[in-house]
Chains A and B, each alone.
Chain A
Amino acid sequence: MNPQDLRVILATDCGSTTTKAILIQKLGDEYRQTYRGEAPTTVEAPFEDVTRGVLNAIQEVEELSGRTILDGERIITPANGTTGVDIYISTSSAGGGLQMMVTGVVKAMTAESAQRCALGAGAIVMDVLASNDGRPSYEKIERIRHLRPDMILLSGGTDGGTVTHVVEIAEYIAAADPRPRLGIGYQLPIIYAGNKEAQGEVQRILGDKAALSITENIRPVLERENLMPARHKIHDLFLEHVMAQAPGYKKLISWAGAPIIPTPAAVGMIIETVAKREGINVIGVDIGGATTDVFSVFQETFNRTVSANLGMSYSVANVVAEAGLDNIRRWLPFAFDEQSLRNQIKNKMIRPTTIPQTVIDLQVEQAIAREALRLALDQHKQLAVGLKGVQQERSVSDAFAQTASGQSLIDMFALDLIVGSGGILSHAPRRVQSMIVMIDAYLPLGITQLAVDSIFMMPHLGVLSTVNEQAATEVFVKDCLVPLGTCVAPKGMGKAGERCFSYRLLLPGERMVEDRIPVGDLRLLPLEVNQEAGIELTPARGFDFGAGDGKKVTGKVKGGVVGLILDARGRPITIAKDEAARVQQLQTWARGVELYPEEVTNRGIGESGNR
């Protein structure tokens, strides 16, 4: 069937714990997401067949929609009246997703390109090996032996350059004789995407020991990355080797009308598609229980990172270990002693499926979420960079403003939209809480729109974008995103109470609102979904909205379910060290945006969260 003729689309995402099915239908001239069903994933014992969970999730969609989709254990295609669907598509992260090890010659060059390549393909990178990574060679071999990845991406060298180093790494891999994570007796898939002059030697060394695939060099010259051929090869091998050995996947692959792709790769695809269609810079984040994925598109360059041990349940204690307890406590609007806080967080780690039962529990989780998001973005900024090692031509005018190669692409002033996904953001009791958590974590500058994923359908839409881009983007904008509103914040720091900036807001119906905002204030103005207003911002000296110190900027702000947030707390946000002062400061901010119910924000300063 021609992709443009698709009218009923069924998509599933087979996650580690839940399989989610959605139905997308063409209603009139537009595609809309209509029904959703979910069921536990059945990859593990006692079922050991992923299709059981898929069928259960589809059955829920059938019951809710009244549409007959299944004929026994077969998906009926094409659609005819209220029966069947035109296409079935799926993504998968069951069984821990795609776990890879990558190698390169120089850590900051080919090894970094290999890392970007694997992450963009939706993998979790277990380790990055490079000739100059500082580890003794026997330690590298031991590491390769013990990791048991799903596949290895071997890269290194530019085409025509020296072959010795990349061959040396191939020899390390051969000596380690690594085994795949799944399927005892199978050969480990290895993709060679390095110096093409070394292909013969690599084939000789690894050809008999592994399932070797050779593709184009990911860094043919230092000035250019060529990641797509290797990414496609990763997806092919993911289907052929990794998924084919997971229980039930052969059947699932036969049902699907498009290749099954790893869940994070699909999320990246929809974010990249939308950013390019709208011509905007986007950061997307999916904060899960075990991992946090960050996606960005800046200057049309897509990047993805996964922080494998930053999450809100399984990895919650690791957020504390990495951020430090004081960084968590700084976001708590009440006193809490270290022992009680530590025990509470560890109890969440050992009972990962518990959900907050009190406002205090919620505030602790949201404090941890701020730090997890902040750390994950820091890690993302380190990888989302321009190519390192590139020769730069400099003129005399550059002599006073030389920049090194490999600068981060993440420019918070240029950022247009932040999209949040994951339970802590999508299911917050008040949407303003999601918005403030993201603002506190990311510290957006200038004018930035924020949104959350309503029911986690980005993976489904990502795989749909490979079949029908129009359907995917329409559903993304209309049903997937919940617009929260816009944040306006200048860069700079000042004395509390002094003028930070003035604004003039031209609301629909020619209504004008203007005011001065003092340093330290956080305010919420109503601006509804689908409303747009003109804004003129005049910062005080020492503050910058992107045009320079104290310089006026004008722009447009979009509304949302929360509205317009005017953030004059400064960048970075200064939080009082003294506990009583901190509690008062956080409660004032919370009151300014109606973050919690009134009785919570008016809780006495002396009251503690200890139990």
Chain B
Amino acid sequence: MAHAYTPGLRVAPDAIIRKRRLLPIPGEVLVSEGTQVSATTEVAQTALPGKVYPVNVVNQLSIAPGEILAYMLKHEGEAIAKDEPIAENKPFIKWFKTQVRAPISGTVESISKVTGQVFLREPPEVIRLSAYIDGTIVEVTPQQGVVVESHCAFLQGIFGVGGETAGMITLAVRSPDEVLTAAHVKPEYKDQIVIGGALAQKETFARARELGVRALVVGGVHDRDLKELLGYDLGVAITGTEKIGFTLIITEGFGAIPMAKRTFDLFVAKAGQKAACSGATQIRAGVIRPEVIIPLGREDESTVHSPQSLRVEFAWAIRCASSASPTLAS
């Protein structure tokens, strides 16, 4: 289980990154090709059909399914409010009247004469998709989404938890082998992406959550602390939807492992700059690694066209994560 065939992770000070932003179901694209967007710009939206609730009306009214239409107060396509009667029986004595009330607000989707079920649907939920990174729209797929291109510094971690977020890059340690303790995390780090060194432990996680830190980026964590953070033992590395209060990205692996110097140095160079990051990891076919994307400012871009920096896009570092000594190879 040691050090052969470690994955190639990109650490590029100057890269062109394209992010495909797709809706889960067809909807409307709000931007056009060539539009400049920021991380929070909404680029597409869709209405996700509401949840469906079946109500077994015939059981509640003690009638046969074939008779259901005669007992319905609301019909297919009609709007309903929560607790509004949707069906009732017609007893001789009113005292014995039974009403079936809607458990939700929404519409009557369908009424089945075979099973006697009535399907009610909640109103649609609007999903808005943000650009996630600062950049330019370079491709639009009608009804589905866009591709955003950004000129940026790009760093991949090896594993993360938590979803997309954004904030300012802040260094909380002085060297890549320094452990990020709870004491390092200060109140002014609220809403920021905090860079640590070799390790962060459960006390640091608690402090980051308490202060409202957006993300922690460190060399390693102990699996035991991760288990405590998540509340369960992670079985498969498919993450990104955890609600833990912040996004956690580890760059090297599990254990106390100093952050690779090249990675740390790039964070040092970009301290104080705005960045987007995501802890989403999928270690399966079509691998996804967590990432930090730091758009290049105008000052950065003025250096882009030197031959040396242009090369960087293709010559990313392959990091060999070893507990003894992290090494770099271009």
Cβ contact within 8 Å between A344 and B1 = yes
Asked whether, in the complex, the Cβ of B286 is within 8 Å of the Cβ of A138, the reply is no
A397 contacts partner chain B, Cβ-Cβ < 8 Å: no
Contact of A16 among B5, B52, B285 (CB under 8 A): B285
A201 to chain B minimum Cβ distance, whole angstroms, is: 6
Rounded to whole Å, the gap between the CB of B213 and the closest CB of chain A is 23
Given A172-B54, A358-B2; A339-B224 close (CB under 8 Å): yes
Interface of B is mostly: loop
Asked if A357 and B2 sit within 8 Å, CB to CB, the answer is: yes
**Assembly CA distance A342 to B220 (angstroms):** 13
Contact with B along A451-487 (1 / 0, CB 8 A): 0000000000000000000000000000000000000
Given the known inter-chain contacts A342-B254, A344-B1, please indicate yes or no for A349 contacting B109, CB distance below 8 A.
no
Contact of B307 with A by CB under 8 A: no
A175-B52, A179-B25, A317-B235 are known contacts. Are A351 and B7 too (CB-CB below 8 A)?
yes
Q: For B109, list chain A residues within 8 Å (CB).
A: 175
Q: B1 — which chain A residues lie within 8 A by C-beta?
A: 344-345, 347-348, 354, 356-357, 361, 364-365
Residues of chain B within 8 A of A352, CB atoms compared? 283
Q: Which residues in window 307-365 of A have CB below 8 A to B?
A: 309, 314-315, 317-318, 320-322, 338-340, 342-358, 361, 364-365
Interface residues of A in 339-395 (CB under 8 A from B): 339-340, 342-358, 361, 364-365
Contact B144 A317 (CB under 8 A): no
Interface stretch of the complex, out of A6-14, A163-171, A575-583 = A163-171
Q: Which residues of B contact A357 (CB under 8 A)?
A: 1-4
A343's partner among B6, B117, B144, B254 (CB-CB below 8 A) is B254
Question: CB of A17 within 8 A of chain B?
Answer: yes
Contact A356 B52 (CB under 8 A): no
The reply to whether the CB of A611 lies closer than 8 angstroms to some CB of chain B is yes
Q: Does B240 have its Cβ within 8 Å of any Cβ on chain A? A: no
A309 B254 Cβ-Cβ under 8 A: no
Report B-chain residues with C-beta under 8 Å of the C-beta of A201: 114
CB within 8 Å for A356 and B235 given contacts A171-B115, A342-B222: no
CB distance A317 to B5 under 8 Å? no
User: Does chain B have a CB within 8 A of A290?
Assistant: yes
Task: Please encode chain B, from 29 to 44, with 1 for each CB lying within 8 Å of some chain A CB and 0 for all others.
Answer: 0000000000000000
Interchain CA distance A351-B286 in the complex, whole Å = 14
Which residues of chain B are near A184, meaning CB under 8 Å? 26, 144
A292 to chain B minimum Cβ distance, whole angstroms, is 14
How far, in angstroms, from A16 to B54 measured CA to CA in the complex? 39
B175 at the interface (CB under 8 A from A): no
What's the Cα separation between A299 and B148 when bound, in Å? 59
B71 to chain A, nearest CB (A): 18
| B119 neighbours in A (Cβ, 8 Å) | 171, 175
Q: How large is the interface on A (under 10, 10 to 19, 20 to 34, 35 or more residues)?
A: 35 or more
Q: Once the chains are docked, how many angstroms separate the CA of A351 from the CA of B115?
A: 51
Q: In the complex, what residues of A have CB within 8 A of residue B233's CB?
A: 317, 320-321
In the complex, whether B317 has a CB less than 8 A from a CB of chain A is: no
For the complex, is B49 an interface residue (Cβ under 8 Å from A)? Answer: yes
A132 CB to nearest B CB, Å: 14
Chain B residues whose CB sits within 8 angstroms of the CB of A172 once the complex forms: 54
Please determine whether A343 and B223 come into contact, CB atoms closer than 8 angstroms.
yes
A358: B residues at CB distance < 8 A: 2
A244 within 8 A of B: no
Q: Find residues 91-112 in chain A having any chain B CB closer than 8 Å to their own CB.
A: 95-96
| B158 interface hit (Cβ, 8 Å) | yes
How far is it, in angstroms, between the C-alpha of A317 and the C-alpha of B224 when the chains are bound? 12
Q: Is B126 an interface residue (CB 8 A)?
A: no
Residues of the B chain whose Cβ atoms lie less than 8 Å from the Cβ of A356: 1-2
Interface string of A149-176 (1 = CB under 8 A from B): 0000000000000011001100110111
CB-nearest residue of chain B to A198 = B114
**A138 interface neighbour in B54, B222, B232, Cβ under 8 Å:** B54
Q: Is the CB of A168 within 8 A of B115?
A: yes
Q: Which residue of B lies closest to A138 (CB)?
A: B53
Name the contact of B285 in the complex, choosing from A95, A163, A177, A351 (C-beta under 8 A): A95
Can you list, as one digit per residue, whether each of B215-248 has a CB less than 8 Å from chain A (1) or not (0)? Answer: 0000000111010000011111100000000000
A604 to B52, CA, bound (A): 64
The reply to whether the CB of B176 lies closer than 8 angstroms to some CB of chain A is: no
Tell me if B298 counts as interface (CB < 8 A to partner A).
no
Inter-chain CA distance A270–B233, complex, in Å, is: 37
Given known contacts A317-B233, A339-B222, A365-B1, A354 and B53 CB-to-CB distance under 8 angstroms:
no
B236 to chain A: closest CB distance in Å? 5
Are the CB atoms of A346 and B223 closer together than 8 Å? yes
With an 8 A cutoff between CB atoms, is B159 at the interface?
yes
Write out the residue numbers on chain B whose beta carbons fall within 8 Å of the beta carbon of A167.
Answer: 112, 114-115
Which residue of B114, B232, B323 is within 8 Å of A611 (Cβ)?
Answer: B323
Q: State in angstroms the CA–CA spacing of A358 and B254 once bound together.
A: 18
**In the complex, residue of chain A having the shortest beta-carbon distance to the beta carbon of B285:** A16
Q: How far is the CA of A233 from the CA of B208 in the complex (A)?
A: 54
Chain B residues within 8 Å of A314, by CB: 236-237, 283-284
Does B51 interact with chain A (Cβ within 8 Å)? yes
B7 touches A347 (CB 8 A): no
User: CA A205 – CA B119 in complex, angstroms?
Assistant: 13
- The answer to whether B49 touches A177 (Cβ under 8 A) is yes
Give A138 to B55 CA distance when docked, in angstroms. Answer: 9
Contact of B236 (CB < 8 Å), options: A17, A142, A168, A318: A318
CA distance A357 to B117 in the complex (A): 61
A236 on the interface (CB 8 Å rule)?
A: no
Q: How far is the CB of B205 from chain A (nearest CB, A)?
A: 16
Rounded to whole angstroms, the CA-CA distance of A17 and B285 in the bound complex is: 7
A16 to B284 Cα, complex, angstroms: 9
Give the chain A neighbours of B52 by CB distance below 8 A.
Answer: 138, 141, 175-176
Q: Does A531 contact B (CB under 8 A)?
A: no
A354 close to B2 (CB less than 8 A): yes
A19 to chain B, nearest CB (A): 13
Which chain A residue lies CB-closest to B119? A175
A sample of 11 cross-chain residue pairs with beta-carbon separation below 8 angstroms, ordered by A number, consists of A17-B285, A96-B285, A141-B52, A171-B110, A171-B112, A339-B224, A343-B222, A349-B283, A351-B5, A354-B3, A358-B2
Leading 3 A-B pairs by shortest Cβ distance: A318-B235, A357-B2, A342-B223
6 new A-B contacts, CB < 8 A, other than A167-B112, A171-B119, A290-B284, are A138-B53, A141-B51, A346-B226, A348-B1, A354-B3, A364-B1
B residues apposed to A, CB below 8 Å: 1-7, 25-26, 49, 51-54, 65, 109-110, 112, 114-115, 117, 119, 121, 144, 158-159, 222-224, 226, 232-237, 253-255, 281, 283-286, 321, 323
Binding site for B on A (CB under 8 A): 16-17, 44, 95-96, 137-138, 141-142, 163-164, 167-168, 171-172, 174-177, 179, 184, 201, 290, 309, 314-315, 317-318, 320-322, 338-340, 342-358, 361, 364-365, 611
